Amino acid sequence: MKANGKSQQHGATLSPIGGQNEVAIKCKIDELYYGDFLAVRDSEINIGSRKITGFIGPSGCGKSTVLRCINRMNDLIRSFRFKGELLFHGQDIYAPQIDPVAVRRYIGMVFQQPNPFAMSIYENVAFGLRLNRFKGVMDEKVENALTRAGLWNEVKDKLRNGGLSLSGGQQQRLCIARAIATEPSVLLMDEPCSALDPIATRVIEELMLELKEKYTIAIVTHNMQQAMRVADETAFFSVDISKAGRTGFLVENGPTEQIFNDPQEELTKEYVSGQFS
């Protein structure tokens, strides 16, 4: 059982080009606990390199929990432990010698609520680079990240203004710029549009489709239309309420087209056709 990592030795880093195949992340969760509570069981997903993989399913089925395993964000929760395996290009990210900070350098995250730091637009983007002791030309890096996040033209004349002065949609793109500034290889997005209006949502979705040229993306979404619009692959989770508690598990995953139009499992059929209660 993997613990929350606090007592582990750190040091080794990761390489984003470890494996020969197209799988960026192999995520196999046999059992995942918060304390005594079995939150997720029997879920295995291979996340394809430079593809968008959507996680869908009813509330509480463990979508965010599984997503947070992928960059060891759950390590920050004391009661978290899991049995399984998480490989990043073939490398075990929970191996004792792996530094969780190095994991997050390669596997970045964007959250549900835009959460710029209370600092300037420029410093928000530079933050991760400074943390990683970047020695190159910072201005270039900041401009590049803001450009890739589709925000440069809107902010280039006010880089010293506070990140919190931007609109919600702009703040979320700033968070994406912050996440990609350190040039991760994977971007995890946990309901990145749920706090945004339809226009800002569409901008982020278009951005995701551009970003997948360079990044592997996994996105949790409650919005099935969004999954259909952006995801190449979709993983459907459900909740087992037959036993004590509510344990999430993967029902099936595959090409998005198949999950929505020709699902193999009855539970998936019910969910995607709106019969789920």
Ligand X SMILES: Nc1ncnc2c1ncn2[C@@H]1O[C@H](COP(=O)(O)OP(=O)(O)OP(=O)(O)O)[C@@H](O)[C@H]1O
Residue 41 CB, shortest distance to ligand X, in Å, is 11
Rounded CA separation 38/24 (Å): 27
Residue 107 CB, shortest distance to ligand X, in Å, is 17
Positions in 224-253 near ligand X (CB under 6 A):
246, 248
- Residues 70-99 vs ligand X: string with x where CB under 6 A? -------x----------------------
The per-residue b/e assignment along 123-133, b for 16 or more CB within 10 angstroms, e otherwise, is: bbbbbbbeeee
CB 60 within 8 A of CB 247: no
Q: Which is nearer to ligand X, 64 or 124 (CB)?
A: 64
Token pair 């951005």 in the structure block, residue: 207
Residue 269 CB, shortest distance to ligand X, in Å, is 19
Burial level of 273, CB count in 10 A (0-12/13-18/19+)? exposed
Q: Which is nearer to ligand X, 60 or 255 (CB)?
A: 60
Residue 248 CB, shortest distance to ligand X, in Å, is 6
Contacts of 172 (CB under 8 A, 6+ apart): 110, 114, 192, 193, 195, 196, 200, 204
Q: Which is nearer to ligand X, 14 or 235 (CB)?
A: 235
Residue 75 CB, shortest distance to ligand X, in Å, is 12
Amino acid at 10: H
Residue 189 CB, shortest distance to ligand X, in Å, is 13
Q: Which is nearer to ligand X, 60 or 90 (CB)?
A: 60
Structure tokens at 12: 């080794």
Q: Is 178 in the site for ligand X (CB under 6 A)?
A: no
Q: Is 14 in the site for ligand X (CB under 6 A)?
A: no
Q: Which is nearer to ligand X, 28 or 50 (CB)?
A: 28
Q: How far is CA 266 from the centre of its chain?
A: 27
CA distances from 263 to 51, 199, 234, 247, 260 (A): 20, 30, 11, 22, 6
Compute and round to an integer the Cα radius of gyration of the chain: 19
Token pair 């030309």 in the structure block, residue: 137
CA distances from 166 to 128, 129, 155, 200 (A): 20, 22, 9, 12
Q: Is 268 in the site for ligand X (CB under 6 A)?
A: no
Rounded CA separation 268/252 (Å): 8
Q: Which is nearer to ligand X, 64 or 91 (CB)?
A: 64
Residue 154 CB, shortest distance to ligand X, in Å, is 30
- Residues 33-72 vs ligand X: string with x where CB under 6 A? -x----x-----------------x-xxxxxxx-------
Structure tokens at 105: 């350098």
CB 8 within 8 A of CB 75: no
Q: Is 214 in the site for ligand X (CB under 6 A)?
A: no
Under rule CB under 6 A, how many of the chain's residues touch ligand X? 13
Q: Which is nearer to ligand X, 61 or 70 (CB)?
A: 61
Residue 13 CB, shortest distance to ligand X, in Å, is 28
Instruction: Name the site residues for ligand X (rule: CB under 6 A).
Output: 34, 39, 57, 59-65, 77, 246, 248
